[in-house]
Structure 1
Amino acid sequence: MKTIMIHEMPDHEGETVRMGAWLANKRSSGKIAFLQLRDGSGFVQGVVVKEDAGEELFATAKGLTQETSLYVTGEVTVDERSSFGYELQVKGIEVIKAAEDYPITPKEHGTEFLMDHRHLWLRSRKQHAVMKIRDEIIRATYEFFHMNGFIKIDPPILTGSSPEGTSELFHTKYFDEDAYLSQSGQLYMEAAAMALGKVFSFGPTFRAEKSKTRRHLIEFWMIEPEMAFVEHAQSLEVQEQYVAHVVQSVLQNCKLELERLGRDTSKLEKIQAPFPRISYDDAIEFLHKEGFDDIQWGDDFGAPHESAIAESYDLPVFIMNYPIGIKPFYMQPHPDRDDVVLCADLIAPEGYGEIIGGSERIHDYELMKQRIEEHQLDASAYEWYLELSKYGAVPHSGFGLGLERTVAWISGVEHVRETIPFPRLLNRLYP
């Protein structure tokens, strides 16, 4: 008898197999018990028919409690009523560990309760689906960049300065020096691009931002590509091709998960490059027409502004050329204007906000030096970075995609706290 996992069942139709599983839920009548089984790879229904299984096995099945671990044997059969397409006709059950008083029952629970039990909440069908989609986005990310000649580079998590010159950093002591948890690997990725041409990183980043919105996490994961000899317009093409590739990969490989989440996939099927582009100037004008009198030229956009703009499009939309005063020091000025920079934020549809921020980077030594001074940054901390524009500087561009917001958008969940296994929020460091 072969031991398999649930996702392998389609390859074993008509065979009697063995699998390890947990009991997610059950229901039974006097003659049949339906066991909802999960093993990490998927969910399947196990059917125990009293007449065929016998009194002892049927009693065992009816007595199983939620989240009991077990080995189960049975025949794989087609089940056209289920989205998975198969079920298990159970012939044997071996209990490994009975679970008593499992705290997350099939009834409704409050968010704080579920967050306190995040280590168990991950076992639920919805959370399982979100994590599978997250994994597919990561897989498709590596696939896209490797197919397009990028090399994976790992920037440090402990840094001596802020990449964006902000104060929203977590401070720590690095022996007798000050250090910070990284809020972006970008500056280090620029150095890597000067050595390796096209590079990308994937890793955790940290923002000590006291925000409680559904779009914010304290610890989150970023994909950050940097490209030598690539100007801003070319970078936008890479961004839209990358996002389209990821979305189509999820549609192809996570059909069951999207269905389980009730996601309207018709909206995702439209996500193909190219994406629309509007200028910051046009965005301000649009918002004024929509009644947003609170926003003025020179202000950064908030969630309501981004959502209003996104609602006008079925695709993600680039907002381009933001004012120089609200963007980091390293962004290349616009060639025809001295008040805006060559940058773009990519706003996801359906109210999920900014998922990408990117720009062409300054490669002129004197201009970079001037910008560091204007932002009152510690010149000694940025000396190594300044040398990138001193020795063999070239035009280069890059961007950063926030994984959790992207997972939220593609999976259709409301809050980013459900898109990372163990979220770190303003008021939550447990579990």
Structure 2
Amino acid sequence: MKITIKEVSKYLNQEVVIGAWLANKRSSGKIAFLQLRDGSGFMQGVVVKEEVGEELFARAKSLTQETSMYVTGIVKSDDRSPFGYELQVTNVEVIHESVDYPITPKAHGPEFLLDNRHLWLRSKRQHAVMKIRNEIIRATYEFFNQEGFVKVDPPILTGSAPEGTTELFATKYFDEDAFLSQSGQLYMEATAMALGKVFSFGPTFRAEKSKTRRHLIEFWMIEPEMAFYQHEDSLQVQEQYVSFIVQSVLKNCQLELNTLGRDLTKLEQIQAPFPRITYDEALKFLHDKGFDDIKWGDDLGAPHETAIAESYDKPVFITHYPTSLKPFYMQPDPEREEVVLCADLIAPEGYGEIIGGSERIHDLALMEQRIAEHGLSPEAYNWYLELRKYGSVPHSGFGLGLERTVAWISGVDHVRETIPFPRLLNRLYP
């Protein structure tokens, strides 16, 4: 019976056939240990010379890294294995012999690995990160579906920018200028006025010349938008959502987290509610910590966010940023107009901002004023202004960056490992 490695627990003490690649091997005089992978998982196959005979044993010993094959064997429990099972091999049928596979078990530099990303994905570590990414995506759909949200797909090609035009990729749309989307938010606001609570999940593009471990040129965003939700309502959704995906990964990706050496106790603490501090309180904290160079009106950089996050064992909201630091669409605090009703959610352990969100301006006159102040074209944003003209309501939303969230939950150092084919500054291959 042909099965996958993921399914072997159902076939204890039965003979099965698994289509697999050879990840690695070692052998003694009488036993060969084959490290098998099939995409669903990793498993050890044991070939005993006395049981299989000279010919099959010699064939097993000669297998090269990443050779593809059908492996027949009997599933046995194995308490020594993190996986819990091994395969007593009875036959090996080679499909394709791999010769001179470039990524060997020795250490390689990051540029070499990125040049060979199409192959690097096969490694146990990268497999674990991709499985955790997949679980976060699966849990995202589960959370928003059970909370009554509708999935909506905003356009990727746009005629205007939600946050200005300095970091946009421009292209031609026949005779018009167009841009690759840096956020679907404005369109999500329109769909929220039609469907109540919506979320999108799609690619976004930032032409930002940054080389930090937190930045990608192309990344994926989850962007919910909610009609009749004010700032506080949105914060509650955010902390419930983040708690949900972390606990889902803990429940369903134990093997992958262990493969990565992740400290599970840090993730077990991620339960709503999350602590909150204002921008003003953040500045006072930073001044007390010796960050004397930052003053009111300055944006918080990575060192500042890390210093704040180190004081908490959960993600922390930093709220009420100065209006001057944030995009034109954010609702001012009615009690203090120089700050807006917004929040950035900072992940623990130095992973930085994973969510940015706010209550949106719902007053037409104020939105027109802000568009003028930011030098934006009223004509280009006419449809957006009409959302405030025909039955405007208070509404809020946020965006979660998938790759930073994957990096934090899986514990990897750089976001380049959290997406199958990273687009980085000066890297468009493979």
Q: What is the letter of the counterpart of residue 271 of structure 1?
A: I
Displacement after TM superposition at 1:427 (Å)? 1.2
Q: Deviations along 1:67-125, whole A, 9 cap, x unmatched?
A: 00000100000000011100000000000000000000000000000000000000000
Other-structure match for 1:425: 424
Q: What is the letter of the counterpart of residue 187 of structure 1?
A: L
Q: How does 1:321-336 map to 2 (within 5 A)?
A: 321-336=320-335
1:38 equivalenced with 2:37 (yes/no): yes
Cα distance in structure 1, aligned partners of 2:47 and 2:164: 63
Other-structure match for 2:261: 262
Displacement after TM superposition at 1:335 (Å)? 1.1
Q: How does 1:25-424 map to 2 (within 5 A)?
A: 25-424=24-423
Displacement after TM superposition at 1:196 (Å)? 0.1
Cα distance in structure 2, aligned partners of 1:11 and 1:48: 22
Cα distance in structure 1, aligned partners of 2:351 and 2:81: 31
Q: Which secondary structure does the structure 1 equivalent of 2:224 belong to?
A: strand
Cα distance in structure 2, aligned partners of 1:222 and 1:166: 19
Q: Which secondary structure does the structure 2 equivalent of 1:7 belong to?
A: helix
Cα distance in structure 1, aligned partners of 2:380 and 2:87: 62
Unpaired stretches in structure 1, ≥5 consecutive residues: none
Cα distance in structure 1, aligned partners of 2:164 and 2:392: 22
Displacement after TM superposition at 1:293 (Å)? 1.3
Q: Deviations along 1:400-421, whole A, 9 cap, x unmatched?
A: 0000000000000000000000
Q: What is the letter of the counterpart of residue 19 of structure 1?
A: I
Q: Which secondary structure does the structure 1 equivalent of 2:339 belong to?
A: coil
Cα distance in structure 1, aligned partners of 2:73 and 2:323: 65
Displacement after TM superposition at 1:190 (Å)? 0.2
Displacement after TM superposition at 1:166 (Å)? 3.6
Q: What is the letter of the counterpart of residue 134 of structure 1?
A: R
Q: What is the letter of the counterpart of residue 278 of structure 1?
A: I
Cα distance in structure 1, aligned partners of 2:33 and 2:322: 61
Q: Which secondary structure does the structure 2 equivalent of 1:227 belong to?
A: strand
Displacement after TM superposition at 1:262 (Å)? 0.1
Q: Which secondary structure does the structure 2 equivalent of 1:339 belong to?
A: strand
Unpaired stretches in structure 2, ≥5 consecutive residues: none
Cα distance in structure 2, aligned partners of 1:166 and 1:280: 26
Q: What is the letter of the counterpart of residue 42 of structure 1?
A: G
Q: Deviations along 1:24-44, whole A, 9 cap, x unmatched?
A: 000001100000000000000
Q: Deviations along 1:280-329, whole A, 9 cap, x unmatched?
A: 00000100110111211101111000000000000000000000001000
Cα distance in structure 2, aligned partners of 1:409 and 1:348: 7
Q: Which secondary structure does the structure 2 equivalent of 1:230 belong to?
A: coil
Cα distance in structure 1, aligned partners of 2:243 and 2:142: 13
Aligned residues: CA RMSD: 0.4
The alignment covers a number of residue pairs equal to: 430
Q: Which secondary structure does the structure 2 equivalent of 1:306 belong to?
A: helix
Q: Which secondary structure does the structure 1 equivalent of 2:297 belong to?
A: coil
Cα distance in structure 1, aligned partners of 2:288 and 2:426: 38
Displacement after TM superposition at 1:378 (Å)? 1.1
Cα distance in structure 1, aligned partners of 2:52 and 2:200: 54
Cα distance in structure 2, aligned partners of 1:160 and 1:296: 36
Q: Which secondary structure does the structure 1 equivalent of 2:389 belong to?
A: coil
Higher deviation after alignment, 346-355 or 292-301:
292-301
Cα distance in structure 2, aligned partners of 1:403 and 1:151: 19
Q: What is the letter of the counterpart of residue 87 of structure 2?
A: L
Q: What is the letter of the counterpart of residue 194 of structure 2?
A: A
Cα distance in structure 2, aligned partners of 1:381 and 1:419: 35
Q: Deviations along 1:365-407, whole A, 9 cap, x unmatched?
A: 0000000000000111100000001100000000000000000
Higher deviation after alignment, 292-301 or 317-326:
292-301
Q: What is the letter of the counterpart of residue 160 of structure 1?
A: G
Cα distance in structure 2, aligned partners of 1:192 and 1:410: 30
Cα distance in structure 2, aligned partners of 1:83 and 1:269: 20
Cα distance in structure 2, aligned partners of 1:223 and 1:132: 18
Displacement after TM superposition at 1:279 (Å)? 0.3
Displacement after TM superposition at 1:338 (Å)? 1.2
Q: What is the letter of the counterpart of residue 243 of structure 1?
A: V
Higher deviation after alignment, 402-411 or 371-380:
371-380
Cα distance in structure 2, aligned partners of 1:295 and 1:346: 20
Cα distance in structure 2, aligned partners of 1:156 and 1:46: 48
Task: State the TM-score, normalizing by the size of structure 1.
Answer: 1.00
Cα distance in structure 2, aligned partners of 1:211 and 1:381: 29
Q: Which secondary structure does the structure 1 equivalent of 2:187 belong to?
A: helix
Cα distance in structure 2, aligned partners of 1:57 and 1:380: 74
